[in-house]
């Protein structure tokens, strides 16, 4: 494989795609604030996209080749000493290792799951590199309160609206230049200072990046009305009341690391047992068992937790021998499904569940496949655990043929994150029922 040099300003972290696939992990409904930018890539070994996320003090930029993660951080202050630059680079690397949990050997886990589970064994090669993020618990909590009856596009819009409405911009930078390279050359090798007009796009406008707002910004009574006017519906009250509950209980004092009292308290849930941490989360407005389990899995280090809904139940019945009917989800049924999957996958059952979940999403239907219209690389998919899959059933009725690997199983149709959006019901009757349920929801 050709060696790909780090782009100017980026650092290289050797890491094979089997350990982390940014194209899958950042698009499968775990986090909703990453911005994605296409890059011109002449060879399969070239990075095809840049991903950006605004933290409280910096914007992290990532690119990926088959064996390397390229990273850099952009700060508001640019005139700093070399010592400060070096310290910041070290901090960014530590953040990357923590956020992507790179201390966990994903290849080893895949091997263990494949030995225990023939269903997983058929998917492991095609859907490699899917791991759980270790997100900020406060941001993760509010994001999944927004996920109720929602899909990826609306969740992303809501989360970004929270940032632009309640958090001042940290900095503004242009998107990456779309400069065609030779694959083995970086933009600087291609004369970036004087690029040919035929190979570049017009000078882009600056894009502002906003950190996620702290709890105090959402705790005042006027927030609910403002969010309702911005299209949040009944979720507006959940966000405001949850923020107020946490602020009233833990104050707004800011630590040396810039975290308010509620954020520091949420961090302490990581050291609690799963049951105790879940009990604390369930006290908050807009947090049911499913949302609580999403937060436990994605930000509180509870790798064994599996968020369950009716679609996960269908997969458990179809592929894992769980008996039962399409009954309403009850605490007893929820526990039975969780215990079943834990018995199959073990202590990292939540991680394994995420791989099968992603594999079943419609937008990942050609992920990892070589088709006449696609490159051999994994394709970037824009989807969510809230995205529906009913259109694939209609495509089959029309006789459409989807490319599948020979041994990749077709999991349960329509596996989604917490609640399904109105337009994703599988029949007109179901869509009417969903509209009625939503119209009766508290606002």
In this structure, of 111-115, 165-169, 399-403, the range with the lowest mean pLDDT score is 399-403
pLDDT at 363 over 90: no
User: What does 100-166 look like in DSSP terms, one character per residue?
Assistant: TTTTS-HHHHHHHHHHH-HHHHTTTTTTTT-------HHHHHHHHHTTTT--HHHHHHHHHHHHHHH
Of residues 339 and 309, which shows the higher confidence score?
339
pLDDT at 381 over 70: no
CA dist 142 → 350, 357, 385 (Å): 20, 22, 16
What integer is the mean pLDDT of 247-254?
95
The pLDDT of residue 7 is above 50: yes
Residue reference for tokens 């819009």: 157
Residue 57 has pLDDT above 90, yes or no: yes
pLDDT at residue 406 greater than cutoff 60: no
**Structure confidence at residue 207 (pLDDT):** 95
Q: How confident is the model at residue 69 (pLDDT cuts 50, 70, 90)?
A: very high
Dist. CA 164–CA 424, nearest whole Å: 29
Tally of structural domains, the chain: 1
Q: Which two tokens stand for residue 288?
A: 């049911």
Rounded mean pLDDT, 85-99: 98
Count other C-beta atoms under 10 Å from residue 148's C-beta: 22
Rounded to an integer, the average pLDDT of 425-436 is: 44
Confidence of residue 148 (pLDDT cuts 50, 70, 90): confident
Supply the DSSP symbol for 249: H
Mean predicted lDDT score pLDDT of the chain:
82
**CA-CA distance, 217 to 206, in Å (whole number)?**
26
pLDDT at residue number 314: 77
DSSP label at residue 71: E
Q: Quick check: is 272 in a domain?
A: no
- For residue range 310-347, list pLDDT tens digits in order: 778 877 888 888 876 667 788 999 999 999 999 999 99
User: Best-predicted range by mean pLDDT among 89-103, 198-212, 251-265?
Assistant: 89-103
Contact 50, 61 (CB under 8 A): yes
Residue 32 belongs to some domain of the structure? no
User: Which residues are catalytic, by number?
Assistant: 290
CB atoms within 10 A of CB 327: 9
In a domain, 136, yes or no: no
- Residue 64 in this model has a pLDDT that exceeds 90: yes
Give the separation between CA 126 and CA 408, rounded to whole angstroms: 8
- Residues across the chain: 443
Report the percentage of the chain scoring pLDDT > 90. 62
CA separation for the pair 52, 256 (Å, rounded): 25
pLDDT of residue 3: 66
- At residue 416, does pLDDT exceed 90? no
What's the CA gap between 378 and 66, in Å, rounded? 10
User: What is the average pLDDT across 270-275?
Assistant: 98
Domain coverage including residue 342: 310-439
Q: Is 370 inside any structural domain?
A: yes
Give the relative orientation of helices 289-299 and 137-145 as an angle to the nearest 10 degrees: 150
Residues whose CB is less than 8 angstroms from the CB of residue 321 and which lie 6 or more positions away in sequence, other chains included: none
Residue 179 near residue 190, CB atoms below 8 Å: yes
Task: List pLDDT tens digits, range 191-234.
Answer: 333 343 444 455 668 999 999 999 999 999 999 999 999 999 99
Residue 355 in any domain: the answer is yes
What's residue 370's pLDDT?
52
**Range scoring the smallest mean pLDDT among 2-11, 54-63, 342-351, 360-369:** 360-369
Instruction: Identify whether 385 is part of a domain.
Output: yes
The distance in angstroms from the start CA to the end CA of the chain is 56
pLDDT at 422 over 50: no
pLDDT, mean of residues 154-174:
97
Answer whether residue 341 is part of any domain. Answer: yes
- Residue 185, pLDDT > 80, answer no
**Domain presence at residue 19:** no
Average pLDDT over residues 131-148: 97
pLDDT reading at 122 higher than 50: yes
Tokens encoding 400: 């459409």
* Among 109-123, 332-346, 369-383, 402-416, the least confident range: 402-416
Q: Work out the percent of the chain whose per-residue pLDDT is above 70.
A: 76
Kindly report which listed range (44-53, 179-188, 245-254, 360-369) carries the lowest average pLDDT score. 179-188
306 band by pLDDT with thresholds 50, 70 and 90? very high
Q: What is the mean pLDDT of residues 84-88?
A: 95
């Amino acid at each position: 494989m050709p060696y790909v040099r780090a782009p100017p300003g980026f650092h290289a972290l050797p890491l094979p795609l089997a350990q982390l696939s940014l194209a899958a992990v950042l698009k499968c409904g775990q986090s909703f604030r990453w911005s994605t930018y296409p890059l011109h890539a002449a060879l399969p070994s070239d990075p095809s996209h840049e991903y950006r996320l605004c933290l409280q003090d910096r914007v992290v930029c990532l690119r990926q080749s088959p064996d390397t993660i390229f990273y850099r951080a952009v700060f508001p202050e640019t005139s700093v000493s070399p010592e400060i630059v070096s310290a910041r680079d070290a901090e960014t690397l530590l953040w990357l290792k923590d956020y992507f949990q790179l201390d966990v050997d994903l290849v080893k886990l895949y091997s263990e799951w494949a030995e225990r589970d023939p269903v997983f064994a058929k998917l492991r090669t095609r859907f490699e590199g899917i791991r759980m993020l270790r997100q900020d618990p406060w941001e993760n909590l509010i994001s999944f309160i927004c996920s109720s009856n929602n899909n990826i596009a609306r969740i992303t819009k809501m989360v970004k609206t929270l940032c632009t409405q309640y958090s001042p911009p940290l900095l503004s930078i242009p998107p990456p230049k779309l400069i065609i390279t030779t694959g083995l050359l970086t933009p600087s090798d291609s004369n970036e200072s004087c690029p040919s007009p035929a190979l570049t796009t017009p000078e882009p406008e600056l894009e502002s990046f906003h950190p996620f707002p702290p709890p105090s910004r959402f705790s005042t009574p006027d927030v609910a009305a403002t969010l309702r006017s911005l299209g949040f519906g009944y979720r507006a009250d959940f966000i405001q009341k949850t923020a107020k509950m946490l602020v009233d209980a833990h104050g707004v004092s800011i630590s040396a690391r810039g975290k308010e009292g509620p954020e520091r308290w949420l961090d302490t849930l990581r050291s609690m047992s799963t049951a105790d941490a879940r009990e604390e989360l369930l006290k908050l407005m807009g947090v049911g068992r499913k949302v609580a389990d999403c937060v436990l899995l994605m930000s509180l280090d509870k790798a064994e937790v599996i968020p369950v809904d009716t679609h996960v139940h269908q997969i458990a019945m179809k592929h894992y021998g769980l008996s039962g009917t399409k009954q309403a989800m009850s605490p007893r049924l929820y526990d039975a499904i969780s215990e079943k999957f834990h018995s199959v996958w073990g202590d990292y059952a939540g991680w394994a569940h995420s791989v099968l979940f992603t594999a079943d999403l419609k937008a990942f239907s050609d992920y990892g496949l070589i088709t006449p219209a696609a490159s051999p690389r994994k394709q970037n998919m824009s989807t969510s655990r809230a995205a529906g899959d009913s259109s694939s059933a209609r495509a089959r009725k029309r006789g459409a043929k989807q490319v599948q690997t020979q041994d990749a199983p077709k999991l349960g149709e329509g596996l989604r994150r917490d609640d399904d959006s109105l337009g994703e019901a599988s029949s007109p009757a179901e869509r009417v029922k969903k509209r009625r349920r939503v119209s009766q929801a508290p606002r």
